[in-house]
A and B are shown apart, each in its own frame.
Chain A
Amino acid sequence: MIPVAFDYVRAESLDEAIAALSEHGDEAKLLAGGHSLLPLMKLRLGTPSVLVDIGRLSELSFVRDEDTYIAIGALTRHHDVQHDTIVLREAPLLAAVAGRIGDPQVRHRGTIGGSLAHADPASDLPGAVLALDGTLVARGPAGDREIPASEFFKGFLETTLAPSEVLVEIRVPKGTTGHSYQKFVRRSQDWAIVGVAVARVNGHVGVSLVNVASTPVRATAVEQALASGASAADAAEQAAEGLEPTGDANATPEFRRHLARVLTRRGLVEAGL
């Protein structure tokens, strides 16, 4: 399977990437690790006429320990998020989640920025960043913009990024005291049939659900139940509240709701609740 022909622009700097996006508009797509985009292009489900390769912008691959949060460059690969000592210490949920993505070869190529920008509701990292109340930093022609994770995901493969914006950094708060990622799959390299991310950070518990809606969603009913003193088992019963997941070859809607409850309970318990 060969993608439709396209023009290839290799960005040597972030400014060049933004300029190329501004010039080509909707015709252009950024290329990071290529592990969501290239499979789509090979199936000809995606036919951008210009690819702007940001894969060489090493300044976008970093993990920094800031005062109250850690900052992860958008081009940091899943493999590096999984093994980075700062991430392991300050945001262990992200390391655990990155390690569950696809397989080692996929993790050697795929990036955290690409995963968030692609916004596949079955992806693992968007759910984790949402549970952690992360903030995304985008740079466009007008400069930097901070977007709370809760406002970033708009719909299936849709985010609030403008076509000329590049996601440059992901920030998540320090202070994790418990975490868990429960990913239900039939084969180890697969996407989540349902996933649940739990993060206890600075006294607050964030719970988010993967692949039960067109975006990752926060399990607010569970969080509220916990905040008002419910046990993990009782709170988890609320996990499917308001959900209308779709059915597919892997799971009926009812099975997805069931998984949401069971995995949430397991996640809360593993996170020490």
Chain B
Amino acid sequence: MKVEVGVNGVAYERDVEPRTLLVYFLRKLGLTGTNVGCDTTSCGACTVLLDGESVKSCTVLAVQVDGRSITTIEGLADGEELHPMQRAFREHHGLQCGYCTPGMVMAAVSLVAENPDLDEHQVREGLEGNLCRCTGYHNIVAAVLDAAQSSREGAW
């Protein structure tokens, strides 16, 4: 079946089997920043934005997003200029092995876009769908709080 999906601002028209999961559709485009972790909707490593909102792309069919717009980790930076959330993760050392990071960053971008005025508790709750085996979350939370502040100050 033919689908046309906007990914990071580029329109891709592809012929897919209906059972193709969005995460594999994206990875086949060469956008391998989006990881598969658990493949059971639990870990959040595959999180991307669908029309600006976080979703787990291992549990969405490519045919379901026909005509809609997806943002992956590759679509956040502006050329060499990192997105404020990416910058905050780097500054706060919010990653170690990096496997969870693309999904964590996308979930955090969606969270802050919905409510930039959040506190530590809301950040922890808002990232409940993303698991990290390395960091213990502390620096991830610090990074998201910092990025949220920069968003409130109009830097996004």
Seen from chain A, the residues whose Cβ lies within 8 Å of a Cβ on chain B are 1-8, 10, 31, 34-35, 38-39, 41-43, 51, 53, 55, 79, 102-106, 108-109, 187-189
Contacts and interface: CB of A to CB of B under 8 A. Distances in A.
Main secondary structure of the interface of B (DSSP, over half): mixed
Interface stretch (B26-34, B51-59, B79-87, B144-152): B51-59
B129 interface: yes
A3 B20 CA distance: 8
B116 interface: no
A108 B41 contact: no
Interface string B101-128: 0000001001100000000000001101
A43 B18 CA distance: 16
B60 A6 contact: no
Nearest to B56: A105
A1 B39 contact: yes
Interface in B1-19: 1, 17-19
A39 B128 contact: no
A5 B53 contact: no
B129 A189 contact: yes
Given A1-B39, A42-B40, A105-B44, A34 B128 contact: no
B117 to A, nearest CB: 15
B61 interface: yes
A188 B125 CA distance: 8
Given A105-B54, A105-B56, A55 B64 contact: yes
Given A6-B18, A7-B18, A34-B60, A103 B39 contact: no
Contacts, number: 81
14 contacts: A6-B18, A7-B18, A42-B40, A42-B59, A51-B18, A53-B63, A79-B53, A104-B110, A104-B126, A104-B129, A105-B54, A106-B41, A108-B53, A109-B60
A42 B21 CA distance: 10
A48 to B, nearest CB: 11
Interface of B: 1, 17-19, 21, 39-42, 44, 47, 50, 53-56, 58-61, 63-64, 66, 107, 110-111, 125-126, 128-130
Contacts of B128: 103-104, 187-189
A79 B66 CA distance: 22
List 7 A-B pairs, minimum CB-CB distance, nearest first.
A103-B129, A8-B18, A188-B128, A189-B128, A103-B128, A108-B53, A3-B19
A108 B44 contact: no
A243 to B, nearest CB: 29
A38 B58 CA distance: 9
A2 B19 contact: yes
A55 B55 CA distance: 15
Given A5-B19, A103-B44, A38 B55 contact: no
Given A42-B40, A42-B58, 20 more contacts: A1-B39, A2-B19, A3-B19, A8-B63, A31-B64, A34-B61, A38-B61, A53-B64, A103-B128, A103-B130, A104-B110, A104-B128, A105-B44, A105-B55, A105-B56, A105-B107, A106-B56, A106-B129, A108-B54, A188-B128
Nearest to A4: B19
A214 B32 CA distance: 42
Given A53-B63, A103-B129, A189-B129, A109 B55 contact: yes
A109 B129 contact: no
A108 B50 contact: yes
A34 B129 contact: no
A8 B2 CA distance: 12
Nearest to B39: A1
A101 to B, nearest CB: 11
A189 B127 CA distance: 10
A53 B44 CA distance: 24
A187 B125 CA distance: 11
B41 A39 contact: yes
Nearest to B41: A39
Contacts of A10: 63, 66
